[in-house]
Amino acid sequence: MLKRFLAFALVSLMLAFCFAGCNNGNTDTPTDVPTDVPSDAPTDKAPVKTAVKVIYPKDGSKTPALMVQDAIMNLKGASLEMLGFCTLTSDDKTEDDGTFEILVGTTDRAISTEAKGMLTTYLDFAIIYKDNKIAINANNEARLIAAVEFALSKISLKDDKVVYSGGEKHLEVFTEYTMPNITIADAPIDSFNIVYPAKANNAEKKTAEQLADWLMSLCGKTIGLVDDSTAESANEILVGKTNRALSTEAAGEASLSEMQFSSIVKDGKLAINADAGSGYTEAIRCFKNAMTKSGGNITEAFDSRWLTFDEIIEISVGSPNIKIKDNAVEFYKATDEQMLAYPEGSNMRKNATGSSGVRLDFTTDSSTFAFKAASGNCYDLYINGEYITQITNATSKVFSTTLDTSNEENRVTLFFPSDGVGAISMVQLDYGATCERQKFDRKFLIIGDSITQAKHIKIDSSSFAHRISMHYNADSIIYGVGAGIFNAKILGNTPEFDPELIVVAFGTNDWARSYTAATIENNMKAFLDKLKELYPDAKIIGITPLWRKDAGEKKAITFDEACALIKSIYEEYGIPCVDGEAMMGHDDKFFADDVHPNDEGHKEYAKNLIEEINVFI
């Protein structure tokens, strides 16, 4: 409400300036307006006398005090003229002049210190009412807000004076501490000081303060927070590069990358070090996780689990060609031999040199998952088979998310972008967390053109190929290349991948290129001959081209003739054939353009294709 008053005041001032400007240059002064009003002439309304001052510490948060001011103004039924009735200021900008004061936090008034002294555990709050003052105090902002809410429930106005019905003193003792007996290296937590460098950077100071607040909120006991100019004590939590020997040991000689930190527990001390703010953020998260898992007793160093490149490769799916380059793991959907089948510098080579269809897929008992990409702009995250989010600009920042620890394990699936090469530089889990590649029920090889590659859709993982892979829990290679045609040269042997089912989805570009029936037949037969040679035991399903809006255009043969030809060749080879034109409705709502299905189209395509596949497997 106060904000609305201030906004109204600002608008009023602006209008006043506008009206004043309208009179500039107007020499026709009305005769009924006096021009010689003396400066000491009485005005219609006297200034509103301040009845209440709300005061907060000069270095403290203003938020709880604003709550008080807003509540008092509401009680007053405040209007624009009443803005001065209740003022808000820091303690260094106002003197005690006898006006009623509501002191929020540890101000420089003695009564604030008295209220602070009433606190017996960390999450208590205290309120004192005497000497024309109300003092409200607590150890942290969350509890100070709780104290303010309690105090406001006892405040009313009578004849423009504050009436407080909460008694002279009120102490709210907090008793529901979740870990009252925290220890580190078997020493009680209230024997510790948290120590940060005398010249700490913002990250070090903030981390020390957050650790102190969190620990005291858990146990209710007092923990010292000091810089390293303080004499060394037996038990210390050292944050950052302090002058203590254990801090130097924790820092080591090697620099730490983003989100990395080091920790040591030794001789009654815990040292935490990082080189970046994100590293300290991760340190706090891991400290909390270790404390929770240990039941409140940390006896050894804690860390995140940073997967090695070999471990990242182990949980990958859909890449027959993996390279470690520039401190990252690159994943390709095609072998080098397959990529060479496309002309160098062509769009088809670019489409073939990518990671569409690749994903990381694993189960873990970690409470968090984080990763950073070295290349590839857009990744899709699924948890337990459910789409969670699309991560854009994945190379510019570390992405991190929490996992539901009420589940014994969670399945994490990270889908790579359909365009460009996806490369991962970091995957991070909780310290000691399990990480196992997803166990699959089937193996699929899906080969096709830009539709298989998932071109022109918003969520890459919503492609029909990904959808059928997820539906059947299939370990799959999805080899989709934009502008692809039947071409035996693009097939390459993947000896470590023996698919149970192969889905072939070519033909639309063969027709669009105006190939003759003879050319299509020769190319398709050469392709199928090689496919059967490479995978003699696999079942193969062929799909004729999907309906397209420009199917009526004149080419070497009609679109219908091309579809009929492709179907007849599949039948000649004894390969079950799916009618592509029946996979989606011939409706604009399913298409991103004249040819490519949109996200909804891929969903419809997958649904109908699954019904067809069920007949054959």
The Cα 334–Cα 36 span in angstroms is 91
Name the superfamily (CATH) of residues 47-172: Chitobiase/beta-hexosaminidase domain 2-like (3.30.379.10)
46 pLDDT band (50/70/90 cuts)? low
Closest CA to 562 of 610, 611, 512: 512
For residue 78, the SS3 value is coil
Q: Which amino acid is at 412?
A: V
Q: What are the tokens at 75?
A: 């009680």
What average pLDDT does this structure show over 21-43? 40
Closest CA to 100 of 112, 91, 87: 87
Q: What are the tokens at 170?
A: 């009120």
Exposure string for 240-268, b = 16+ CB within 10 A, e = fewer: bbbebebbeebbeeeeebbbbbbbbbeeb
pLDDT number for residue 56? 98
Rounded to the nearest integer, the mean pLDDT of the chain is 90
The Cα 129–Cα 167 span in angstroms is 7
With tokens 């994903």, the residue in question is 359
pLDDT per residue as tens digits for the range 426-439: 999 988 899 999 99
Asked whether the whole model's pTM tops 0.75, one would answer no
- Find the angle CA(448)-CA(454)-CA(459) to the nearest 5 degrees: 160
The Cα 567–Cα 19 span in angstroms is 82
pLDDT at 85 over 60: yes
What average pLDDT does this structure show over 247-261? 83
Q: 183-302: which CATH topology?
A: Chitobiase; domain 2 (3.30.379)
What is the 8-class DSSP label of residue 334? Answer: S
With tokens 């070999």, the residue in question is 310
Distances (CA, A) of 450 to 395, 419, 516: 25, 10, 22
211 pLDDT band (50/70/90 cuts)? very high
pLDDT number for residue 341? 92
pLDDT at 39 over 60: no
Write down the domain spans for the chain: 47-172, 183-302, 311-616
47 pLDDT band (50/70/90 cuts)? low
The most distant pair of C-alpha atoms in the chain lies apart, rounded to whole Å, by 109
pLDDT per residue as tens digits for the range 126-179: 999 999 999 999 999 999 999 999 999 999 999 989 999 999 999 999 999 999
Same fold yes or no, 47-172 and 183-302: yes
Closest CA to 290 of 320, 263, 252: 263
What average pLDDT does this structure show over 96-117? 96
Task: Determine which of 282-296, 304-318, 452-466, 497-511 has the lowest per-residue pLDDT on average.
Answer: 282-296
pLDDT number for residue 23? 42
Concatenated DSSP letters of 261-281: EEEEEETTEEEEEESSHHHHH
Percent pLDDT > 90 in the chain is 80
pLDDT number for residue 3? 46
The Cα 99–Cα 88 span in angstroms is 13
pLDDT per residue as tens digits for the range 289-320: 889 888 999 999 988 888 999 999 999 999 99
| Burial class of residue 404 (count of CB atoms within 10 Å of its CB; 0-12, 13-18, 19+) | exposed
pLDDT number for residue 79? 62
Concatenated DSSP letters of 171-227: EE-----S-TT-EETTEEGGG-EEEE-TT--HHHHHHHHHHHHHHHHHH----EEEE
Q: 311-616: which CATH topology?
A: Jelly Rolls (2.60.120)
Concatenated DSSP letters of 129-153: EETTEEEEEESSHHHHHHHHHHHHT
